[in-house]
Amino acid sequence: MDAFDVNLPRDIDACHELILELDRERRRQAAVIAQQQETIAQQQETIDRLQSDVDLLKRTLYGRRRERFVDDSQQGLLFDSTIVGADDDSGSGDDDESDDDEPSPERRSSKGRGRRLFPDLLPRKTVRHELDEQEIPEELRSDPTARRFFKKTSEQLEFTPASIHVIEHYQEVIVRDEASGETTIATAKKPPQLIDAYAGPGFWAHLTASRFADHLPYYRQEDILARHGCRIGRGTQQRWLFALALAVAPLVELMRRLALQSEVLGCDETPVKMLAGEPPGCTKTYLWSTVGDNAHPYDCFHFTPDRSRDGPEQFLAGFQGYLQSDAYTCYERIAAADDRIVPVGCWAHARRKFEEIHFSAPSVRTHTALGYFQRLYDIEDRARDSSVSQRGAKPIVTEFHQWLLEQHERELPKSKLRAAIAYMTNRWQSFACYLDHGAIPIDNNRTEAALKYAVLGRKAWLFFGNSQGGETAATFFTLTKSCNRHHVDPFAYLRDVYTRLPSTPASDLPSLLPDRWIDEHPQHRLQERADEARQRADRKRARRAQRRVPAATPR
């Protein structure tokens, strides 16, 4: 008998006690193992979440920005064809046949370009290249019947740097000495000037357009002007633009009031750093954009020192209609406090949440959700100019809502997909609101695009110097972005505004609005930009129409 057998108890009670002790030890070990497994599961969940965040971060930094979803016809057996990418009577009529018959505009490529024709409005100079007498053959030189002429062989673009010149003002003066010893003087009046500065409207327009349309920081403008022979310090530029912003404030306020008369108003915001006083450092301030509808076509900007509700409440005061935005609680509370404001959700924001999950962890459910979005956007694209009764999206929206409710019950509480679903179901009335009126777009992308105009500049000038700088930026972004919306040359527009505004009565301010101004000055429309935008939209619509054509079933 070995040592193990010798140590075993001999009586029944001792054996029972040993068995119970072993069972208690087994239970303790099982509890430790269960706790370890739970810890491992939590750690694995954290690793998966962090890995998903890293993938999204890498995509943001290095990947494509376009959130594209294409339903793969080869995976049709995996998904319910009645839900994903299906064409039904409500969503796919024959209203896009004209798009399919129209050839798709081709994108310009670097190969096979035709000869570039320069616009006739560009000034031209003639350069004549004459033959050297020594190069002329003897038989041609002495032949009286030989004809000599110049033949145009090519055109070449050349650049002359911008020039700065000084205007010397002389005022005519008439003086008469009276017999009484007094002197009578008559002096010609100078035209009124918008601000008191040693520069003119064209110079101010150049500074404004360079800063807020071309997004050049003040120090770069200082260097550029120095190359042209006149250095204007950045502090002087800031003071001039702040004074100009105060001078054009009545025009900008008119644009903001008109935008608030829109039936559908888009709203969004973005943070901008501002240098603080004491202690040294930066604080986070905000630029807000309010985008009017087609009847009130103005892209307006507002500056606030923080993201609190006070700012939007102030610049949205008096608005009544449909307010389209993301789900920031500030907008929701403003709409809840005023029954004249109807909140409208942005389907692009909602889709983005599902697309991010599908990018990191694709599944049947994310594919199905994106399929619903695809069908709704296809209908929106085909019925862009239709009334609400012609959209035909309501049955799909209802079906999508029911699917979301079912999936919400099935998903785990901490699931990212459940959070994306809850984002929509908790605000479903605002998301379905776009079906109530044909003028309401399906998303708020137009406002985001307007806000990116300022974000592009933020990457160059980085921060506001102070709150005055923020107010100045909001004023001039309103003017230059509204010019951009109507393809107006911002320099020509601002120069004319700066020239005419001092003598323009308040009743004539509407004539200086960008959309009305360009009707009176069509020569300053950036027609190439307008044509590019139209061609880009045509290409996009053609691609979408081609995508809607069902693929041939493989044999």
CB count within 10 Å of CB 231 equals 12
* pLDDT for res 59: 74
Of 483, 542, 468, the C-alpha closest to 516 is 483
Rounded distance, CA 131 to CA 426, Å? Answer: 82
DSSP code of 159?
-
Rounded distance, CA 73 to CA 550, Å? Answer: 9
Rounded distance, CA 28 to CA 35, Å? Answer: 11
* pLDDT for res 122: 80
Reduce the DSSP state of residue 10 to 3 states and report it: coil
| Lookup result for tokens 């071309």 | 214
Note if the bond before 522 is cis, omega within 30 degrees: no
List per-block mean pLDDT (blocks of 10 residues) for the chain, which spans 555 residues: 62 85 90 91 84 78 66 43 40 38 48 65 86 83 83 85 86 89 89 91 95 94 90 93 96 97 96 77 91 96 94 94 93 92 95 91 92 91 62 88 94 90 95 90 94 91 90 97 96 96 94 96 90 87 75 45
H/E stretch holding 223: helix 218-227
Rounded distance, CA 130 to CA 135, Å? Answer: 10
DSSP code of 73?
G
β-pair partners for 287: 270, 303
Sign of CA dihedral 373, 374, 377, 382: negative
CB count within 10 Å of CB 192 equals 9
Contacts of 186 (CB under 8 A, 6+ apart): 173, 174
Rounded distance, CA 299 to CA 485, Å? Answer: 8
| Lookup result for tokens 């999508």 | 400
Rounded distance, CA 84 to CA 364, Å? Answer: 10
* pLDDT for res 64: 67
CB count within 10 Å of CB 7 equals 7
| Lookup result for tokens 């068995």 | 19
DSSP code of 121?
T
* pLDDT for res 54: 83
Rounded distance, CA 327 to CA 322, Å? Answer: 14
β-pair partners for 183: 177
| pTM metric for this prediction | 0.79
H/E stretch holding 249: helix 249-260
CB count within 10 Å of CB 454 equals 21
SS (H, E, C) 395-464: HHHHHHHHHHHHHHHHCCCCCHHHHHHHHHHCCHHHHHHHHHCCCCCCCCHHHHHHHHHHHHHHHHHCEE
Rounded distance, CA 52 to CA 432, Å? Answer: 30
Q: Look at the chain and count its residues.
A: 555
Q: Do residues 169 and 190 lie in contact, with contact meaning Cβ atoms separated by under 8 Å?
A: yes
Reduce the DSSP state of residue 369 to 3 states and report it: helix
* Tokens describing residue 547: 């995508």
